[in-house]
Amino acid sequence: MEYIPNTKEEQHQMLKAIGVETIEDLLSDIPSEIRLTRGLQLPPPLSEPELKTEMLRLSERNADLLHHVPFLGGGAYDHYVPSVVGHLAFRSEFYTAYTPYQAEMSQGLLQTIYEFQTMIAELTGMDVANASLYDGGSALAEAAMMAVKITKRKTILVSSTIHPSYRAVLKTYLSGANVTIIELPSENGATDLVTVGKRLGEDIACILVQTPNFLGCLEPVEGLAQEVHRHGALLGVSADPISLGLLKSPGEAGADIVIGEGQGMGCGLNFGGPNLGFFATKKEYVRQMPGRVVGATVDTKGRRGYCLTLQTREQHIKRERATSNICTNEALAALSATIYLSIMGRQGLREVGRLCLQKAHYLKHRLCEIKGFEMAFARPFFREFVAKTPVPPSRINKKLYKGKIIGGLDLGELDRKLKNHWLVCVTEKRTKEEMDHLVAAVKEITT
């Protein structure tokens, strides 16, 4: 067994040193009633070559996006991952390391986390960011819980334009807490400001919105911030960092907490995970922030170094009074994002944003030329938009798939009110040719 180095002879030497005859002698604490008297019923072990063949065969039962052209988003995005990201993040000194509890042996990783925190704070317009959370869904839940703790208020307002899975995760996380969740209706594809004004009061801890929202529309964050702050509540914004090279940061627009999903930044798709939750907020709330955080300090010789800090907020010290139960996070995804943002840089991230924006608008324009297609909402959008379709989108998607195109999300399958609504996504990877191809195919199907 190549992963277990002990030879029979070495086992024998070790048993002798311990002073027992067999390994079985070491297991005497396990009551005999519960000892497994049979072998586990598992498929027989495979050698490495057999294993690779078997797994490759399994993987080939999937329609991978190297051989298909996706216009599918809905919370997971096919952004380009530069070659350097995988080569650097998967250096084994990084990916086979544990959480950097022993700072002096983990300076490299700690510095990358400090750089990640800096980049996230910069993109979101916040003062501080943590070292990562699981995903966009749990990050939203952590934001809500922090707002409840800070304001000591027990009701939160959640926009119905936030990704339905994020809202579902939020509901699950808060099901053990004594907190009321109220969903805010939407108007023309974004949070309805009139209802916001009516619902806000002394009992509201926070309002949570997402921009671009699940329907692709940009939310009027600035207008919301003014309303929210008038009532002493906090504004939590779930943002997409890929858009933030181009769009105003939520912090500048008045957010108090900015969270979101960072999968688009060099993490790939991986059928939805590992993803990258991030969490950023204002300085004054740093001690209520969930998750690990790295700080700069000095060593005994006065040299700059980094270590995990503010650990008294965390579960291993505070136990049942911790700010969150999170321990393991998404460090490697955060490292991938740090490398991604380093290689894209100041201009590159903006350029990715520009390409997404221009191409998405081109496709919108072309699609809306087809009879029966129109935009569902009159709002500014970034990379994704909802088109009303003359036939159910799943029918269009089925036909498109025959031409190796993976169409957008059929929103009618999630919400009956959105029957014949198609959520179409265009990243910087899509070409004019691919989009023209899609348009031609759609035309053929629907006319």
How many residues touch other proteins under the rule CB under 8 A: the total is 202
The residue written with tokens 């390994």 in the block is: 23
Q: Select 295 or 372, whichever has its Cβ closest to other proteins.
A: 295
The residue written with tokens 């080939």 in the block is: 60
Contact 405, 441 (CB under 8 A): yes
- Omega of the bond leading into 185 within 30 degrees of 0 (cis): no
User: Nearest-CA neighbor of 354 among 339, 344, 340?
Assistant: 344
Local structure of 201: helix, strand or coil: coil
Measured in degrees and rounded to the nearest 5, phi and psi for residue 108 equal: -60, -50
Q: Angle 34-39-42 (CA atoms, 0-180°, nearest 5)? A: 120
User: Per rule CB under 8 A, is residue 440 in the interface with other proteins?
Assistant: no
User: Per rule CB under 8 A, is residue 383 in the interface with other proteins?
Assistant: no
User: Nearest-CA neighbor of 159 among 115, 113, 137, 192?
Assistant: 192
Contact 151, 205 (CB under 8 A): yes
For the segment 9-38, give every residue that binds other proteins (CB under 8 A).
10-11, 13-15, 17-19, 23, 25-31, 33-36
Phi-psi category of residue 420: left, alpha or beta, with phi > 0 → left and psi -120 to 50 → alpha:
left
User: Per rule CB under 8 A, is residue 39 in the interface with other proteins?
Assistant: yes
For the segment 99-118, give every residue that binds other proteins (CB under 8 A).
99-109, 111-112, 114-115, 117-118
Q: Select 197 or 297, whichever has its Cβ closest to other proteins.
A: 297
Up-side HSE of residue 60: CA atoms within 13 Å toward CB? Answer: 6
* Smallest distance, other proteins to C-beta of residue 252, A: 8
Q: For 131, which DSSP code?
A: S
User: Per rule CB under 8 A, is residue 123 in the interface with other proteins?
Assistant: yes
User: Per rule CB under 8 A, is residue 157 in the interface with other proteins?
Assistant: no
Strand-pairing partners, residue 374, are 388
Contact 158, 233 (CB under 8 A): no
User: Per rule CB under 8 A, is residue 412 in the interface with other proteins?
Assistant: no
One of 249, 373, 385, 396 touching other proteins (CB under 8 A): 249
* Among 194-202, 228-236, 330-338, 439-447, the segment contacting other proteins (CB under 8 A): 330-338
* Among 97-105, 147-155, 202-210, 368-376, the segment contacting other proteins (CB under 8 A): 97-105
Which tokens sit at 274?
């590992």
One of 295, 372, 392, 412 touching other proteins (CB under 8 A): 295
* Among 172-180, 200-208, 370-378, 437-445, the segment contacting other proteins (CB under 8 A): 172-180
Strand-pairing partners, residue 157, are 182, 207
One of 91, 198, 229, 230 touching other proteins (CB under 8 A): 91
User: Per rule CB under 8 A, is residue 159 in the interface with other proteins?
Assistant: no
Largest CA distance in the chain: 84
Written as one letter, the residue type at 100 is P
User: Per rule CB under 8 A, is residue 378 in the interface with other proteins?
Assistant: no
* Among 190-198, 228-236, 355-363, 385-393, the segment contacting other proteins (CB under 8 A): 355-363
User: Per rule CB under 8 A, is residue 404 in the interface with other proteins?
Assistant: no
One of 158, 206, 215, 335 touching other proteins (CB under 8 A): 335
* Smallest distance, other proteins to C-beta of residue 383, A: 12
The residue written with tokens 């916001």 in the block is: 196
Distance CA 97, CA 254 (A): 38
User: Nearest-CA neighbor of 330 among 237, 263, 389?
Assistant: 263
* Among 147-155, 184-192, 240-248, 370-378, the segment contacting other proteins (CB under 8 A): 240-248
* Among 191-199, 200-208, 243-251, 437-445, the segment contacting other proteins (CB under 8 A): 243-251
Which tokens sit at 422?
């198609």
User: Per rule CB under 8 A, is residue 175 in the interface with other proteins?
Assistant: yes
* Smallest distance, other proteins to C-beta of residue 134, A: 4
Q: Select 199 or 286, whichever has its Cβ closest to other proteins.
A: 286
The residue written with tokens 């952004």 in the block is: 79
Distance CA 239, CA 219 (A): 10
Q: Select 199 or 350, whichever has its Cβ closest to other proteins.
A: 350
* Among 151-159, 189-197, 202-210, 429-437, the segment contacting other proteins (CB under 8 A): 429-437
Distance CA 187, CA 196 (A): 11
One of 21, 177, 226, 440 touching other proteins (CB under 8 A): 177
Q: Select 48 or 447, whichever has its Cβ closest to other proteins.
A: 48
User: Per rule CB under 8 A, is residue 337 in the interface with other proteins?
Assistant: no
